[in-house]
Amino acid sequence: MVNRVLPRLPDGPATVRELMASTVSPALSFEFFPPKDDEGEAQLWRAIRELERLRPTYVSVTYGAGGSTRDRTIRVTERIAAETTLTPVAHLTCVGHSRGELRTIIGRYADAGVRNVLALRGDPQGGVGKPWVPHPDGLDHAVELVELLRELGDFSVGVAAFPQGHPEATDLEADAAALAAKAAAGAEYAVTQLFFEADQYLRLVDRVRRRGCEIPIIAGLMPVTSLGQLSRFAELSGTQIPPAVVARLERHRDPADVRREGIDLLVSLCEELLAEGAPGLHFYTLNRSETTREILAGVADVN
């Protein structure tokens, strides 16, 4: 018997699945991280309000590695659900949580009317490249968190996908198999890690489709404002930056020109992805709205 501890969620904020099905235009989504202090919180809410005007399909809030940032993720997600017109997606990871703790957090989201969760394993506690050690009473892979969410309530569950392959995957086929397994467990859409070449995304889609898996794969995009920022995020996420992208940015001395080049690069990437049928664009906003808004203003198909 299915141990369904949560009541069926009331009809309320739509799910990402319903929102994606109800429109012919590509999904548009923005990702935020939980702020560290009051100033960061004010910046986050400015960005949320500015990006709200673009009427995104959903916005998501990342889940950090430690206690207080995790509470803030839950608080910010609940506040978006209560105080804005936006549909929030809460990220949740298996890192350092027992199964019981995960059930409690999932229950809290359900109580707050949050129906959308991005189910992630999380990075190893030592960082990308270090060995993954699951909590002794916890979950080992994201697929188990997808199963837990589907068992506990009426959630719409998203998962992560990796155009360059996940850093721990033995090869690209194993990586595609892991995504197909998450879809088979009930994940309804995937969002990719950042990437800069449409081909990498398209090859991932092909690998997954060859397995008979039709999960919509939303393209995850990092607005580039400087080489330093780009290198930091590439390292944190274990992503390789193509040399052609570095060369394009390195041509410029003036930071304003680097930023302009980064915007042009992202506009072309978005247009190529949409022309090739990507079902959505997801922006890693870093809690700022300006660059994302400028990129979107340049993309013909979302205007």
Nearer CB in complex with ligand FAD: 12/66: 66
Nearer CB in complex with ligand FAD: 217/258: 217
- Active-site hit among 31, 144, 168, 188: 31
Nearer CB in complex with ligand FAD: 193/285: 193
Nearer CB in complex with ligand FAD: 175/188: 175
CA distances from 191 to 24, 41, 255 (A): 18, 25, 30
DSSP state letters, 133-158: ---TTS-SSHHHHHHHHHHHS--EEE
Distance of closest approach, residue 254 Cβ to ligand FAD, in angstroms: 32
DSSP state letters, 20-69: HHT-SSPEEEEEE---SSHHHHHHHHHHHHHHHTT--SEEEE---SSHHH
Phi, psi values for residue 76, rounded to 5°:
-65, -40
Distance of closest approach, residue 119 Cβ to ligand FAD, in angstroms: 7
Distance of closest approach, residue 253 Cβ to ligand FAD, in angstroms: 33
Nearer CB in complex with ligand FAD: 191/263: 191
Q: Are 148 and 141 in contact (CB under 8 A)?
A: no
Distance of closest approach, residue 10 Cβ to ligand FAD, in angstroms: 26
CA distances from 142 to 11, 178, 180 (A): 27, 9, 12
Any residues with CB less than 8 A from the CB of 65 and at least 6 apart, and which? 95, 96, 122, 123, 125
Q: What residue ranges bind ligand FAD (CB under 6 A)?
A: 62-63, 91, 93, 118, 120-123, 141-143, 160, 166, 168-169, 174-175, 178, 182, 191-193, 220
Distance of closest approach, residue 187 Cβ to ligand FAD, in angstroms: 10
* 188 catalytically annotated: no
Structure tokens at 295: 């990129």
Phi, psi values for residue 68, rounded to 5°:
-70, -35
Catalytic residue positions? 31
